[in-house]
Structure 1
Amino acid sequence: MFYRLMVAFLTIVVIQCAAQAANVEQYLPAKQNYEKSITKPEQVLGFGIGERHIRHDQLVRYMEQLSQESDRVQLTQMGYTKEMRQQLLVTISAPQNLARLPQLLAQDSDGKNSADPLVVWLGYSVHGDEITGSNAALVVAYYLAASMDKTVEQILSDTVIVLEPSINPDGMDRFTQWVNMHRGTTPNADPNHIEHHQGWRSGRTNHFGFDLNRDWLLLSQQESQNRIEYFHQYQPHVVGDFHEMGANSSYFFQPGIPTRTHPLTPKANTQLTQLLATFHSAALDKDNRLYYSQENFDDFYYGKGSTYPDINGGVGVLFEQASSRGLQQESINGLLTFEYGVQNHVYTSLSTITGAWQNKDKFKQYRRTFYQEALKQAKDEKYTGYLISEKHDQYRLTNFLTKLQQHRIKVYPLIEDLRLDGKLYSKAHSYYIPLAQRQYRVLQALFNQGTNFQDNTFYDVSGWTLPLAMDINFKRVKRTWGMEIAKMPWQPIQDRTIAAINPQAYAYAFEWHDALAPKMLYQLLSQGIKAKVATKSFASVIDGQSKTFTTGTIVIPAGIQHQTAWRELVEQYAQENHLNIFSINTGLTIQGVDLGSRSLRNVEPIKVLLIGGKGSSQYEAAEVLHYLDDTLNIPVTVVEQLRLANIDLSTYSHIVMVDGRNQHVKKSEIEKIKQWVKQGGVIFGQKRAARWLVSQGILKAKIVSDESLDSLFATDDLAYQDKERLSARKRIAGAIFETHLDLSHPLSFGFTDQQLPLFRNSTLIFDGKDQPFTTVAEYTAKPLMSGYADRNLVNRIAHNPAVIAHDFGKGRVIATTDNLSFRGYWLGSAKLLANSLFFAKAFSASAK
């Protein structure tokens, strides 16, 4: 009874607080005057900050109002999200700074002029359901625009403050719609209420379902690509990254755990972060608010908003607020309100600005020293740079070079062929990346293959080596003697012209090496154009020269086409995808199989169903969708596990299952799936979906048991304090492993190198190779290439299959223990997924 009375009393208090929250000044320092001509947020929104969750359009509307009324505020539209919402940047400074902002930023490119302004960048709500940040941004923007305080005026004179008020607009609106739809008239603090529990596609992620706070380094998503250009224009000295965490936490700000900082980050960075922490603690102490600082979170992975600045001459600081998710929620610390969380982020936003401003000379000197030391470290290395090459896949190579350019890394084309260590590097496909450049640390972060670390407990991935992920050949170069490189860095070619096809050709062919070859094949098949895949190589005369076509080549014979204007479509799709089309004038080849051979197998049209919903990983589903839909333009039908009973599977050629427990797939649906595969369907399972396929008797493989894995780790003489360290040894947080492909297998079509790096973030292991001809990729003897994994796990993984494929009745089952399209940048291994769609019937391997 007492508990209920207390909850009722606290509810009344919350309602009263919400009424006070209607006035923005309730969030701001007391006894300050504000310019009356500046409109307050509540006057535009129609409700006060903290009373309800704002939509993105409401946020944009207020910022536009602010920029019209204040000469301290300047808006920049960075671009649009996939759902066509603006990505807004709000720059706030003294009017004289804004008037010459481009010159100020250009002059300070190397931090040489101490008179130039300090730059502070505050980014809010990269996870759209952590929306206290975006609401706090409204308060901070009003304060800086309207305050008449002399100290604020001085700060704005010395500082350029950049607000990104909503880093993830699409996720923000998805969450806001959920909360506003499910909240009642009377606030409900029960953690079980639907208001606090989102659907399968949560507001945390963007349109495709990606966590944008993992994409600063990888740049696979449109929002990240739009932002990175402006980040490098502003070159912030300090970056605040505002998040939320579980309701039963309090408030966190970095430095976090010192031993979990990446070795490329200078120690002075942590010291400056600790200096700023004294300002945050002072701000929260005034209101007796709970917080902590040196626990849980790390500064290791550079793809996050609080860590990417750390290799770009700035200091990034993570802030985490206990989340009410809805308007309010009961927690172990009492009733947690939305308004309370907004207030905390306002406090630390202002403490970040104040702390950076009061120590502006230290932050400016830090950036100067940062780049001076980077150049010195580059010169101290035992090698001068990296040599990269990719002969067969122009799309993958261009994508890779573009990412480097977006990070302001300079890459120089070779202008003469180079022979090095017995290998020829063609000038047409090879590039040199010198270490001695301003972005030395970013370059090393992208190419590093470290496997040993001071602290082996990782909050996020430990290995993300970009060339391995994109399957780009790279080599350290000790000296540049004899190497002829261009004077100007690489720039993308705007238009690549593809040669016209012969309109009278007997057949057309295109090779499978290029990443966009599957896209073109789908386009052809969807238009009723018939195509075949060569399962054996052949050679033909092309323009008077002998040309060898390897397995995987797609052949489009004229004699079997019945579509009007099909040749024009072939040429059109080739131009769109920048793929070379070879015109073949006879079916009689000069070597290998002829074009009428049964070794050229028909490729059938595909229709893909992905099983999603609760019980399936929204992240891995997003990665598959992004690769198939956004990169290859192959539509994917997503069906939640609970809807499978109502789906006619016979209309689909493929089922894709990603990591998850699949607990909502009922026995009747399991039997339906089995019969569908037996009748000719193709099912693909990744990670725990592969385990599920084994448990249902569809995939014929053995899985190493959890008990067997536990037995690898001795527990004798361990104290209680060793518990966390043992747990870290037993998991693979995210590392890169080497596999060898069976290049003769149809699922390996398009690959030219036996070595294929794969990304692994689980301890699921296929045990042994009992079935002949079913292993597509196998781990090598020493498979760990980048990141941390305990040597006991590495040894247990070695020599075991990574990808298995075999017959199941008339159908096929394909499975992997790894994530083939991790975070949208693993273009190397993603091709295995495309091959599984088009070439599953090009192989046959029975399994007991």
Structure 2
Amino acid sequence: MIRYIYGLILSFVLLNASAQNKTPEQFLGHPLGSKFSFHYQVVDYFKTIAAQNPNQVKVVQYGSTNEGRPLMVFIVASPENFARLEEIRLDHLKSTKNQSVKTDAKTPAIAWLSYNVHGNEAVSSETSMKVIYELLNKNNRSMQDVLKNTIVILDPCINPDGRDRYVQWYNRVQNEVSDVTPFALEHNEPWPGGRFNHYLFDLNRDWAWQTQKETQERIVFYSQWMPHLHADFHEMSPNRSYYFPPAAKPFHQDITKWQREFNEILGANCRKYFDQNNWTYFSKKEYDLFYPSYGDTWPTYNGAIGMTYEQGGGGRAGLAIERPDENDTLTLKNRIEHHYVTSVATLETVSANKDKMVSEFNNFYENAVQKPIGTFKTYLIKSQGNEERVRSFTEWLSRQGFEYGIAGKNLAVKGTELTTLSDQNIKMESNDLLISAYQPKSNLLKILFETKPVLEDSITYDITSWGISYLYGIKTFGLKEKYVPAAYQPEKTENKIPATTPYAYIAKWNSVNDAVFLSELLKRKILVRTSNIPFETNKMSFEAGTLIITKKGNYVNNFDSLVTALATKHFVKLVPVTTGGVTAGASFGSDEVVTIRPPKIVTLVGDGISPTAVGAVWHYFEQQIKYPLTLISQDKLSQLPFDQVDVLILPSGNYSNILNEKLLATLQDWVKKGGRLIALENANDAFLNKPGFDLTKKVTTHKKDQDTFKKFGEQEREEASTTSPGSMFQVTLDATHPLSFGCSKDYFTIVRNAYNMDYLTDGWNVGYLTDTAYKAGFVGNKATEKLKNTLIMGVQQMGQGKITYLMDDPLFRGMLYNGKILFSNAVFR
């Protein structure tokens, strides 16, 4: 009998033990926080937990990275909610489409927690393992109560490529016993660091522009759930404490009263935990809610509660680092605990305010459809002559989830041109694009389209102007009346070989697709010519920069079928002509018509050079125009076989330790022989006042110092007065120069530096800022003068080659459509 009872007890104990979820420590084989985990280990742990809880965890792979790592989310719910998970999702989505939704006590809130968007802010993924364990820990009453009211979506790592780049390096160089000395090797991550994705883009600044694969795939899945809350977990420098909401000013003016209130409620719950543990923290400083492309703002403008958390640490912190100012040693275990506590505080706050969150979210979308915010109720985009830009633009609109169509009729209307904010009489044409504000995402629509966002505070974290009409270079009008669009169908592009074999094919040059088409032709060794002046033939006018593909020089099998097929593939409309003569301009054999040869292009990477600037160039060539680019380390520049290079690109960076006098002389010699040098942003400083280079700063008269008695407490604002963190300016272009070919008449750029450059005296001042160039965004009063009458784009002829000075990066974050065309000109012309 005793043996029987003992057996029952043993069976119960074994059964109960087998039902227990594995802790992160049990799975990893080491205490959490004692070592950095690779991405696959984090994912495998989540999968293990999911397999142990099939009635509570759903595993979803929503995409993959450029390096092939899976992008995963794990949806956690109570068994009761999990049984009707799809029903909950579909019912919730009805609220975003202004369909009646029945909500009751059983309607859960949806909270999405995102970790590790910056790869070397590596505490986040470690924390996520503890979060899912505790969510499913039956002994954790707080988390069990959360799951009664909340569906929790966990993304353990938004940026697996960056994370593994960091972890691989750190695990390789760390000491067996962590060296807490701040200047130790394990606290000094090598270039480019793990912060960015494969193409060195900052994924936390890509939510609105969606240039990156990871972002595009994440937004598709995000749109299938549209959570009530999105929390983004980060790290900052190791000598800092912890930041949690409320956010700093500026708040965008269209953030709702409830979204502001929840910031305060959440902050109070976080403070409670941090005070109990005597942990230091701060709120309402530095991290604002303005720029629309963050992981807190983009969800906010989509109706969610969006917030950021920042733990002191980052890539420098490693497993442990000494902090003399804090009189402590910051460990990975500390950082995990802090992020875990704010994760818990967030979920508790959502659960406690579930009913209000659901009702306010529903109200947000009801108002969006029935009473859209803002002055304009319809947006009109002129399509004539911009068909390919409009096609690209509609692809972006679709990724955002916006509804759009065409006018479908001709009509005289009044509207406001958005870049000038001038009221005009407009002829609405049937093929013009129309976007009604009476749609679910009208708040986001209004915010992304606005060209002068209201800024309540000059201390900002990121760029302060982003209007879509600026970025795409398309004529956009805001209409105060409501117009219902007709269905949009992109114009079909089909090129056929004429019955009479043409003398040449002509292709316009005014879209990024044209650059992709050119790239394909050059890779296939098709000879391409271009006219440096406008011309007219067959009663058709063509702008300077037009591509001319003649039979002459192209001895390729199936030439006509190849060229027409490539043009159709890239939506390029070819115009076949039967003569090389013109009725105006230059005939195809004149000196004004030049050959575009396939260039060998090299760009520098490495210490001193901005990783994101490199990434913008790299992504542009590999993913946008699909043209070969060779990356070389900056310390190998002296060994470069210059006779094999046509174009050398210097991304923004500090070249003082790279370009010595000998290398500058080598570059000059190479340029004189026909090389093309392109310098971006701070790379231009390497050529300032150097012999042979025509680049100088403006001469300014020094005024009497007025800052003798400046106030210590105003130093942050004093620093801001000298900056332009990201404001919109209109560039005056020399439309006759090849660098500006194909760019729309109105060229706008995002200014992030007070350039203060003088005009070239021995070159072409292709783009510059006048006294009236400023359009929108914050510019400090001391920076304003430096941005008047300053060079932005210049070209210096040097022997048979040229140097292109670009003070501003036209590829910045992949945002500027005209910038991509201008950069294509710099590379290929």
TM-score normalised by length of structure 2 = 0.90
Structure 1 range deviating more: 623-632 or 96-105: 96-105
Counterpart for residue 747 of structure 1: 739
Deviation at 1:757, TM superposition (A): 0.4
Deviation at 1:803, TM superposition (A): 1.0
Deviation at 1:382, TM superposition (A): 3.9
Structure-1 separation of matches of 2:263 and 2:293: 18
Unpaired runs of 5+ in structure 2?
1-15, 414-423
Q: Is the 8 A contact 2:764 2:795 kept in 1?
A: yes
Structure-2 separation of matches of 1:538 and 1:294: 59
Structure-2 separation of matches of 1:282 and 1:232: 33
Q: Which amino acid aligns with 1:326?
A: G
The 3 A distance-change label for structure 1 pair 479 and 453 is same
The 3 A distance-change label for structure 1 pair 414 and 373 is closer
Q: Is the 8 A contact 1:313 1:367 kept in 2?
A: yes
- Please, which of 40, 55, 59 is the counterpart of residue 75 of structure 1? 59
Structure 1 range deviating more: 566-575 or 653-662: 566-575
Counterpart for residue 186 of structure 1: 177
Counterpart for residue 505 of structure 1: 502
Deviation at 1:55, TM superposition (A): 1.1
1:373-392 CA distances to partner (integer Å, 9 max, x unpaired)? 5567636x443222112434
Counterpart for residue 529 of structure 2: 532
- Counterparts of 1:480-491 in structure 2, within 5 Å, are 480=482, 485-486=485-486, 488=487, 490=488
Q: Which amino acid aligns with 2:71?
A: Q
Q: Which amino acid aligns with 1:56?
A: H
Structure-1 separation of matches of 2:516 and 2:255: 40
Q: Is the 8 A contact 1:611 1:656 kept in 2?
A: yes
1:780-812 CA distances to partner (integer Å, 9 max, x unpaired)? 432122211135533542343321112012210
- Please, which of 812, 816, 835 is the counterpart of residue 806 of structure 2? 816
Q: Per the alignment, in what secondary structure is the counterpart of residue 485 of structure 1?
A: coil
> Do residues 573 (structure 1) and 566 (structure 2) align?
yes
1:511-570 CA distances to partner (integer Å, 9 max, x unpaired)? 1112122222222223222111112333333xxxx3322221111211222333433432
Counterpart for residue 6 of structure 1: none
Structure-1 separation of matches of 2:282 and 2:782: 35
- Please, which of 382, 388, 394 is the counterpart of residue 389 of structure 1? 382
Task: State the superposition RMSD in angstroms.
Answer: 2.5
Counterpart for residue 437 of structure 1: 439
1:178-203 CA distances to partner (integer Å, 9 max, x unpaired)? 11111122221122222222222211
Deviation at 1:372, TM superposition (A): 4.8
- Please, which of 160, 173, 183 is the counterpart of residue 169 of structure 1? 160
The 3 A distance-change label for structure 1 pair 571 and 126 is same
Q: Is the 8 A contact 2:515 2:625 kept in 1?
A: yes
Deviation at 1:74, TM superposition (A): 0.3
| Alignment: residue pair count | 791
Structure-1 separation of matches of 2:387 and 2:175: 55
1:195-246 CA distances to partner (integer Å, 9 max, x unpaired)? 2222222110011001111111121111111111222222222222111111
Q: Which amino acid aligns with 2:430?
A: K
Unpaired runs of 5+ in structure 1?
1-32, 840-848
Structure 1 range deviating more: 785-794 or 798-807: 785-794
Structure-2 separation of matches of 1:60 and 1:812: 51
> Do residues 240 (structure 1) and 231 (structure 2) align?
yes
Structure 1 range deviating more: 498-507 or 550-559: 498-507
Structure-2 separation of matches of 1:717 and 1:265: 38
Structure-2 separation of matches of 1:301 and 1:34: 49
Structure-2 separation of matches of 1:80 and 1:492: 29
The 3 A distance-change label for structure 1 pair 704 and 780 is closer
Structure-2 separation of matches of 1:395 and 1:145: 51
Q: Per the alignment, in what secondary structure is the counterpart of residue 201 of structure 1?
A: coil
- Counterparts of 1:170-319 in structure 2, within 5 Å, are 170-257=161-248, 259-319=249-309
TM-score normalised by length of structure 1 = 0.88
Q: Which amino acid aligns with 1:137?
A: S
The 3 A distance-change label for structure 1 pair 422 and 274 is closer
Q: Which amino acid aligns with 2:299?
A: P
Q: Per the alignment, in what secondary structure is the counterpart of residue 234 of structure 1?
A: coil
The 3 A distance-change label for structure 1 pair 807 and 561 is same
Structure 1 range deviating more: 133-142 or 419-428: 419-428
- Counterparts of 1:218-617 in structure 2, within 5 Å, are 218-257=209-248, 259-323=249-313, 325-332=317-324, 333=326, 334-372=328-366, 374=368, 378=372, 381-420=374-413, 421=424, 423-428=426-431, 430-450=432-452, 453-480=455-482, 485-486=485-486, 488=487, 490=488, 497-500=494-497, 504-541=501-538, 546-617=539-610
Q: Which amino acid aligns with 2:250?
A: R
- Counterparts of 1:21-60 in structure 2, within 5 Å, are 36-60=19-43
Counterpart for residue 843 of structure 1: none
The 3 A distance-change label for structure 1 pair 368 and 64 is same
- Please, which of 114, 128, 145 is the counterpart of residue 119 of structure 2? 128
Deviation at 1:617, TM superposition (A): 1.1
Runs of 4+, deviation exceeding 6 Å: none
Structure-1 separation of matches of 2:209 and 2:704: 34
Structure-1 separation of matches of 2:371 and 2:456: 20
Q: Is the 8 A contact 1:779 1:802 kept in 2?
A: yes
Structure 1 range deviating more: 150-159 or 727-736: 150-159
Q: Is the 8 A contact 1:783 1:794 kept in 2?
A: no
Q: Is the 8 A contact 1:465 1:786 kept in 2?
A: no
Deviation at 1:290, TM superposition (A): 2.0
Q: Is the 8 A contact 1:385 1:432 kept in 2?
A: yes
Q: Which amino acid aligns with 2:731?
A: T
Deviation at 1:712, TM superposition (A): 10
The 3 A distance-change label for structure 1 pair 107 and 175 is same
Structure-2 separation of matches of 1:649 and 1:789: 41
The 3 A distance-change label for structure 1 pair 524 and 374 is closer
The 3 A distance-change label for structure 1 pair 503 and 652 is farther
Counterpart for residue 680 of structure 1: 674
Q: Per the alignment, in what secondary structure is the counterpart of residue 142 of structure 1?
A: helix
1:149-193 CA distances to partner (integer Å, 9 max, x unpaired)? 455334213210001110111111111111111112222112222
The 3 A distance-change label for structure 1 pair 643 and 39 is same
Structure-2 separation of matches of 1:351 and 1:35: 30
